[in-house]
């Protein structure tokens, strides 16, 4: 297993378009997290899944954002009607349920630029 993979690495889109990002976690990890990071800030929690169940959503996750993890493996994060304020790095992480053993592993992120 090569760690957490995110695709694409970069995405440039026009305002108003929809975009979808994919995250493939470490296969043994049943928890998957999405974060957003803007320049000069720490990552902000968006949502997380345990297997296919979405357990928590941040208030940052407006109704334009939707995340899925249909089979408890990979996850997608979709942003509809993108706005310039959505420009950020979107990070995915995974962990086992008891994160005390191995902690959280992050992917390299997807950088979104909305023009």
Partner 1 sequence: AQSVTQPDIHITVSEGASLELRCNYSYGATPYLFWYVQSPGQGLQLLLKYFSGDTLVQGIKGFEAEFKRSQSSFNLRKPSVHWSDAAEYFCAVAGGNQGGKLIFGQGTELSVKP
Binding window for partner 1 (CB under 8 A); candidates: 18-26, 60-68, 72-80, 106-114: 106-114
| Options 62, 83, 104, 115; binder of partner 1; rule CB under 8 A | 104
Q: Establish if 87 lies at the interface with partner 1 (CB under 8 A).
A: no
Residue 30 and residue 105: Cα distance in Å, rounded?
12
8 cis-preceded (ω within 30 degrees of 0): yes
Give the three-class secondary structure for 86. helix
Residues of this chain, 58-77, that bind partner 1 according to CB under 8 A: none
Binding window for partner 1 (CB under 8 A); candidates: 11-19, 34-42, 62-70, 71-79: 34-42
Q: Which residues of 41-57 are buried (b: 16+ CB within 10 A; e: fewer)?
A: eebeebbbbeeeebeee
In the complex, which residues of this chain contact partner 1 (CB under 8 A)? 4, 31, 33, 35, 40-45, 48, 56, 91, 93, 95, 97-100, 103-109, 111
């Amino acid at each position: 297993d090569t760690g957490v993979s995110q695709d694409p690495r970069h995405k440039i889109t026009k305002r108003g378009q929809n975009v979808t990002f994919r995250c493939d976690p470490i296969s043994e990890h049943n928890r998957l997290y999405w974060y957003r990071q803007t320049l000069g800030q720490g990552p902000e929690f968006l949502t997380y899944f345990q297997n296919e169940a979405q357990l928590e959503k941040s208030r940052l996750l407006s109704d334009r954002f939707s995340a899925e993890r249909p089979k408890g493996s990979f996850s997608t994060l979709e942003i509809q009607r993108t706005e310039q304020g959505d420009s950020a790095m979107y990070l995915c992480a995974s962990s086992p349920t008891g994160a005390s053993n191995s902690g959280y592993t992050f992917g390299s992120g997807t950088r979104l630029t909305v023009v």
